């Protein structure tokens, strides 16, 4: 029987909040509820094998760098990986014996970049820091003074610092003020929210559009009227409909034809996506996260009896609504005409859609022990289904986000797209 290997990818951003790499986090022991792996070597081997068999590495990382953890035992017999595509993360548990240091030196000669994971400055650390290209500091474990001390000690070395577990906008701002070049964490999905204040004009327009799109008894005619008012929205919807993710023998040439072919609910969901991602405040990482959650949730719902994939898609997408608009989710949902099951899922993780969202959030953080595998299995969500749903979500997000974010300059005319 083929072993199912679960992996999650977490974005690594630069100071402009551009995604420059992904760390690949794996787990192969999905039968237990423990968030541990039998051995570092088995975990790393499994993730690499999985990346090259089920998906090519370039697909897994969207042609960006992959940060992968390596135990000392694998350094001598490194898999056939390209130094141009992989950064080798050395685990904090490694003891830097002469043999291990020799392996690291050889890998450096081959062109590999070395990152020291969860770095703590100890006596043993002096042996390895001279070979490091990137040092990762866990800002949840090391206070600001400790971080500065570490940076000061290594100021003369040609090394970049990466802040790990940056979870809020305030933490990101603090790290920006220090000597960090890279950032890892979900701070981009947790901006400082403004309670009780009016939305900025661009966000208000988008929220009004989303309100119209999600009204009850929305028919083809009404949906067409709403979308056709916005030429950029119409244009990008047609680009999505005609993308490689909808393989059609003949190109769809009009918005009305697209609505008829795909249906009101499908077009409505994609219109929601386009509307949100037009906001200037949305970063590349946030757009990816929202679309990954939406597609992941939709895919999982297909396997659950009685679940509606279109509702699941909406739940996944709107789970990032607060980050897009900088307003608390509870305030936003008060005025949106959404089905009660969607609101319950978003606010309290209740119901089948809330259960799926909870599992998805745990997965993206590689919190494997918080995913109730046995309960998921009872509703048809096996580990294999879960992994396939995730990989499809990554591929869709990677393919669609460039379409959503491309600059469009259209003449101001009401008849650009029919």
Tens-place pLDDT, residues 79-116: 778 899 999 999 888 888 999 999 999 999 999 999 99
pLDDT digits (tens, 9 = 90+) for 12-39: 999 999 999 999 987 754 444 333 444 5
Q: Computed over its alpha carbons, how large is the radius of gyration of the chain?
A: 23
To the nearest whole percent, how much of the chain has pLDDT over 90? 44
193-202, 222-231, 260-269, 341-350: least confidently modelled range:
193-202
- What per-residue confidence (pLDDT) applies to 413? 43
Question: Of 178 and 417, which is predicted with more confidence?
Answer: 178
High-pLDDT (> 70) share of the chain, %:
85
Of 133-142, 263-272, 287-296, the poorest mean pLDDT is in 263-272
Residue 49 has pLDDT above 60, yes or no: no
Q: 112-122, pLDDT tens digit by residue?
A: 999 999 887 77
> What number is the average pLDDT over the span 322-337?
89
Please tell me the pTM assigned to this model.
0.87
Measured CA to CA, the distance from residue 370 to residue 380 in angstroms comes to 18
pLDDT of residue 319: 96
- CATH numbers and ranges of domains, the chain: 6-189 (3.20.20.450), 201-405 (1.10.3210.10)
Residue 20 near residue 182, CB atoms below 8 Å:
yes
Report the pLDDT value the prediction gives residue 58, as an integer from 0 to 100: 76
Q: Which residues of 114-126 are buried (b: 16+ CB within 10 A; e: fewer)?
A: bbbbbbebeeebe
pLDDT of res. 416: 44
> How is residue 184 written in tokens?
């890892």
- At residue 148, the pLDDT reads 95
């Amino acid at each position: 029987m083929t072993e199912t290997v679960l992996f999650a990818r977490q974005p690594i951003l630069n100071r402009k909040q551009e995604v420059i790499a992904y760390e690949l986090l794996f787990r192969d022991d999905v039968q237990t509820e423990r968030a541990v792996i039998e051995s570092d070597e088995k975990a790393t081997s499994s993730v690499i094998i999985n990346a090259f068999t089920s998906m090519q590495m370039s697909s897994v990382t969207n042609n960006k760098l992959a940060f992968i953890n390596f135990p000392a035992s694998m350094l001598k017999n490194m898999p056939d990986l390209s130094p141009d595509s992989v950064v080798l993360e050395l685990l904090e548990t490694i003891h830097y014996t002469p043999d291990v240091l020799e392996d690291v030196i050889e890998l450096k000669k081959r062109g590999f970049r070395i990152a020291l994971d969860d770095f703590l400055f100890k006596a043993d650390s002096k042996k390895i820091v001279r070979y490091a290209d990137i040092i990762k500091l866990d800002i949840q474990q090391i206070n600001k003074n400790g971080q500065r001390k570490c940076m000061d000690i290594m100021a003369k070395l040609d090394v970049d610092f990466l802040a790990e577990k940056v979870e809020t906008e305030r933490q990101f701002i603090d790290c920006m003020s220090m000597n960090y070049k890279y950032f890892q964490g979900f701070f981009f999905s947790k901006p400082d929210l403004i309670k009780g204040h009016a939305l900025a004009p661009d966000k208000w327009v988008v929220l009004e559009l989303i309100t119209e799109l999600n009204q009850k008894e929305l028919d083809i005619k009404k949906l067409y009227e709403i979308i056709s008012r916005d030429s950029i929205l119409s244009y990008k919807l047609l680009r999505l409909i005609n993308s490689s993710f909808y393989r059609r023998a003949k190109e769809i040439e009009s918005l009305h034809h697209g609505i008829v072919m795909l249906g009101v609910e499908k077009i409505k969901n994609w219109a929601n996506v386009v509307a949100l991602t037009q906001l200037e405040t949305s970063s590349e990482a946030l757009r990816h996260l929202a679309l990954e959650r939406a597609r992941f949730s939709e895919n999982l719902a297909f396997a659950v009896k009685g679940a509606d994939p279109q509702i699941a898609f909406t739940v996944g997408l709107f789970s990032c609504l607060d980050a897009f608009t900088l307003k608390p989710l509870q305030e936003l949902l008060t005025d949106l005409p959404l089905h009660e099951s969607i609101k319950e899922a978003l606010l309290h993780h209740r119901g089948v859609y809330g259960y799926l969202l909870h599992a998805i959030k745990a997965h993206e953080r590689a919190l494997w022990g918080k995913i109730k595998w046995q309960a998921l299995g009872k509703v048809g969500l096996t580990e294999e289904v879960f992994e396939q749903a995730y990989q499809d979500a990554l591929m869709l997000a990677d393919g669609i986000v460039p379409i959503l974010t491309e600059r469009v300059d259209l003449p101001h005319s009401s008849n650009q797209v029919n």
